[in-house]
Amino acid sequence: MEDIDVQIMKLLLEDGRMSYTDVGKATGLSTSAAHQRVRRLEQRGLIKGYRAVVDVEALGLPLTAFVSVKPFDPAAPDDVPERLAGLSEIESCHSVAGDENYILKIRVATPADLEGLLARIRFAANVSTRTTIVLSTPFDGRTPDLPGSRPVGG
Amino acid sequence: MEDIDVQIMKLLLEDGRMSYTDVGKATGLSTSAAHQRVRRLEQRGLIKGYRAVVDVEALGLPLTAFVSVKPFDPAAPDDVPERLAGLSEIESCHSVAGDENYILKIRVATPADLEGLLARIRFAANVSTRTTIVLSTPFDGRTPDLPGSRPVGG
DNA sequence: GCTGAAAAGCCTATAGT
DNA sequence: ACTATAGGCTTTTCAGC
């Protein structure tokens, strides 16, 4: 059998609104025990929250792009993430090993908005940018096969 | 005032388990009306589902990378997404404009797993790969500022 | 499309093993 | 750590505007 906590997280990954009763049924626990485990997972930070999955493309943000950034001045202290955090169009910011220092994923409404955002990124963080436009997204946000039983950080 | 449906989606983006009662309070609607609107948003596909946000890094998948892929044979019919869909380590697949054809985001446990996955990607889709390892993630999964009132696809 | 009310079911806490 | 129970609240449906 599989580690129950991992099983619970898989269930909630697929349906974040599943009731504790149903989580219990699926794992062979009582409602209380299932609820208890979920709460412990939340407290330990393994479950960080719950989100609706919203179709942002249909909602006025059809343009997605990846933006690689590299500081103009490699000697300057690196506070790029802090400087970019205020730009709400930036969905994610990853520090990476490679030719560039960061990869951002951004969402905007129009090419003109993209142009403006890139200017704000360069200005805010003193970086050069390289932009890769997303044409379509065959799949996204898939939930990984979590490795089975074990550590769970306890 | 802001379009109520957009407001509802923002609320559920931040807390996917918020009760319809609370959604109603926040939007000035009765519980029934709020519930009704959420159900319509789900049926229209604007809300695609609900997910727990799970800390996969802490859960045995600490290695994230972006993999750009390019077919060896540019003349071959492009069924790369279909061929890659079966690899569960691939979280997302974006078709992009630029030097490469697709950008994948992948998650694995170890460098050895990455090596194996890259081999499987190349073999499954007949592509070359360029891999950018993620060192850290200052932020991820931020919810965009949705453009205010309007179309909502209706 | 909204309100309001009622039944069914869920959440949460408590007590006990 | 789990089960069982019970009160309060939520979900869901339905009648009416």
A81: domain CATH number?
Answer: 3.30.70.920
B33, with CB counted inside 10 A (0-12, 13-18, 19+), is middle
Which nucleotide lies closest to A28 by the C1' atom and the CA atom?
D2
- Give the mean model confidence (pLDDT) for residues A35-48: 96
Whole-number Å distance between alpha carbons of B58 and A147: 11
Looking at the structure, tell me whether residues A79 and A113 fall in a common domain: yes
Instruction: For residue A87, list chain B residues with Cβ-Cβ distance below 8 A.
Output: none
Looking at the structure, tell me whether residues A38 and A67 fall in a common domain: no
| Residue B74 at interface with chain A, using a CB cutoff of 8 Å | no
| Residue B146 at interface with chain A, using a CB cutoff of 8 Å | yes
- Is residue B31 in some structural domain? yes
Q: Strand pairing partners for B52?
A: A50
**Protein-proximal nucleotides of chain D (any atom < 7 Å from a CB):** 1-6, 9-15
The CATH number of residue B38's host domain is 1.10.10.10
Taking Cα atoms as reference points, which of A142, A153, A151, A139 lies closest to residue A13?
A: A142
Whole-number Å distance between alpha carbons of A154 and A82: 31
Instruction: For residue B59, list chain A residues with Cβ-Cβ distance below 8 A.
Output: 6, 9, 46, 146-147, 152-153
- Is residue B16 in some structural domain? yes
Looking at the structure, tell me whether residues B20 and B78 fall in a common domain: no
- Is residue B23 in some structural domain? yes
| Residue B87 at interface with chain A, using a CB cutoff of 8 Å | no
B100 in helix, strand or coil? coil
B106 in helix, strand or coil? strand
Give the pLDDT confidence of B58-110 residue by residue, as tens digits: 889 999 999 999 999 989 889 999 999 999 999 999 999 999 999 999 999 99
Confidence of residue A146 (pLDDT cuts 50, 70, 90): confident
CB-nearest partner of A132 from B81, B103, B136: B103
CB-nearest partner of B12 from A15, A45, A52: A52
- Give the mean model confidence (pLDDT) for residues B24-53: 96
Looking at the structure, tell me whether residues A39 and A67 fall in a common domain: no
Domain range spanning residue B12? 3-43
Whole-number Å distance between alpha carbons of A114 and A67: 10
Q: What is the pLDDT of residue A63?
A: 98
Q: What is the pLDDT of residue A1?
A: 52
- Is residue B118 in some structural domain? yes
Q: What is the pLDDT of residue B36?
A: 96
* Residues A18/A11, Cβ–Cβ less than 8 Å: yes
Whole-number Å distance between alpha carbons of A132 and B146: 22
- What's the pTM? 0.92
* Residues B97/B56, Cβ–Cβ less than 8 Å: no
Looking at the structure, tell me whether residues A95 and A34 fall in a common domain: no
Taking Cα atoms as reference points, which of A136, A139, A131 lies closest to residue A106?
A: A131
Taking Cα atoms as reference points, which of B89, B64, B69 lies closest to residue B140?
A: B64
Which nucleotide lies closest to A17 by the C1' atom and the CA atom?
C10
Give the pLDDT confidence of A118-128 residue by residue, as tens digits: 999 999 999 99
Residue B127, sorted as left (phi over 0), alpha (psi -120 to 50) or beta, turns out to be: beta
Q: How many domains does chain B have?
A: 2
